[in-house]
């Protein structure tokens, strides 16, 4: 278990270097009761969870408990007494440095974060087990490394499963809540930390929704901390091309405007569905704005005749599309900062409230 002890020493150093961050319980823990798990978010304690416990609550990481899968691992639903308690992200069992780095990097990034629009880390698992495995037709004993990150369970899954056009799916106020919360989470990363952090993989699949449809940014494995004197960098990684800005695709150039471009694409998809970006590319900007706003006007009138908020909602739709178009400018210097975006949303809310 030397590897596990080395990891625990690393975690102790992380905690020591961030005294105001959530505390780690590094001692081995036994069975975790349901109410203890639920209380972790409020206590700020991050627990070391035994592999056997995680196997029990995920039905041995069964296919039926899968919530989603990515490059580095699979996320499972953890159930105890028939109730959802946590989501378990199990990293793949491969002896590769990038998988170890993914675990370390995401864990360390999550340890720095504490915001209502950021997914909350509740626990982790790092165990090395000597197991009998089949290799080239023979059975041999090998060390399998089990790495897992445990999060609060998000009852409504990811935003990806809720995207729809203007005439179907979520109403405008719910969509606006998701836009607003996503912007607040990104503002915290860019402007609310001592050392700014770029998410670098902002997309609907990485925006989780709780039981009240409050968004939480998730999946910080690709995220990058930026030193005070470092305003830009050139790095290589595998992101999701649809949400990557042109300067990254062409030059592997990364700045805070990377996330802003991704945000713009996400906003268009929230407002007009997963086909929204294609439609926006095929139509002049103002024609697209008018088209989407008219569809929302028709929907509000059809679902809530005589609705007093019609003018209010149409104004918000218009402003959010304008912000989204500013975010996806091909010239990164023309894209707004996240602080500008939240200020514009604040002003929109004040104007619509007065009107």
- For the chain, what is the radius of gyration of the CA atoms? 22
Largest CA distance in the chain: 75
Nearest to 107 by CA among 52, 55, 47, 159: 47
Query: Contact at 8 Å (CB) between 159 and 169?
Result: no
Distance CA 205, CA 242 (A): 12
191 in Cβ contact with 343 (< 8 Å): no
CA 136 to chain centroid, in Å, comes to 39
Element (H, E) at 88: strand 83-91
Which one of the listed residues 165, 201, 259, 331 is annotated catalytic? 201
201 catalytic? Reply is yes
Report how far apart the first and last C-alpha atoms of the chain are (Å, whole number): 65
Per DSSP, 205 falls in state G
Contact criterion met (CB below 8 Å) for 234 and 253: yes
Sign, CA dihedral 346-230-265-193, equals: negative
CA 231 to chain centre: 23
DSSP state letter for 128: E
77 marked ligand binding residue: no
Annotated binding site: which residue ranges?
89
Q: Mind telling me the catalytic residues?
A: 201
Annotated binding site for ATP: 89
């Amino acid at each position: 278990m030397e590897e596990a002890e080395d990891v625990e020493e690393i975690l102790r150093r992380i905690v020591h270097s961030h005294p105001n961050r959530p505390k780690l319980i590094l001692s081995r823990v036994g069975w975790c009761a349901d109410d203890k798990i639920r209380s972790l978010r409020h206590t700020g304690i991050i627990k070391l969870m035994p592999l056997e416990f995680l196997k029990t609550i995920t039905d041995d990481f069964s296919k039926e408990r899968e919530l989603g899968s990515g490059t580095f691992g699979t996320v499972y639903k953890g159930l105890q007494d028939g109730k959802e308690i946590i989501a378990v992200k199990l990293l793949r069992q491969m002896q590769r440095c990038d998988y170890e780095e993914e675990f370390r990097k995401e864990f360390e990034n999550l340890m720095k974060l504490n915001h209502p629009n950021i997914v909350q880390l509740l626990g982790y698992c790092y165990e090395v087990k000597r197991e009998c495995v089949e290799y080239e037709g023979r059975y041999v004993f090998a060390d399998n490394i089990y790495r897992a990150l445990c999060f609060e369970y998000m009852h409504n899954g990811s935003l990806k499963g809720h995207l729809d056009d203007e005439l179907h799916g979520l109403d405008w106020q719910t969509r606006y809540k998701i836009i607003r919360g996503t912007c607040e989470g990104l503002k915290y990363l860019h402007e609310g930390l001592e050392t700014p952090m770029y998410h670098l993989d902002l997309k609907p699949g990485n925006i989780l929704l709780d039981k009240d449809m409050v968004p939480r940014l998730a999946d910080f494995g690709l995220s990058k901390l930026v030193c005070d004197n470092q305003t830009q960098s050139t790095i290589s990684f595998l992101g999701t091309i649809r949400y990557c800005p042109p300067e990254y695709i062409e030059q592997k150039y990364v700045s805070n405007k990377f996330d802003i471009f991704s945000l713009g694409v996400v906003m268009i998809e929230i407002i007009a569905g997963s086909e929204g970006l294609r439609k926006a590319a095929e139509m002049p900007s103002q024609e697209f704005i008018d088209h989407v706003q008219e569809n929302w006007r028709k929907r509000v009138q059809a679902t809530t005749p005589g609705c007093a908020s019609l003018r209010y909602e149409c104004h918000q739709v218009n402003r959010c599309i304008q912000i989204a178009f500013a975010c996806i400018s091909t010239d990164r210097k023309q894209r707004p900062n996240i602080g500008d975006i939240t200020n514009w949303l604040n002003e929109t809310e004040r104007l619509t409230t007065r009107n």
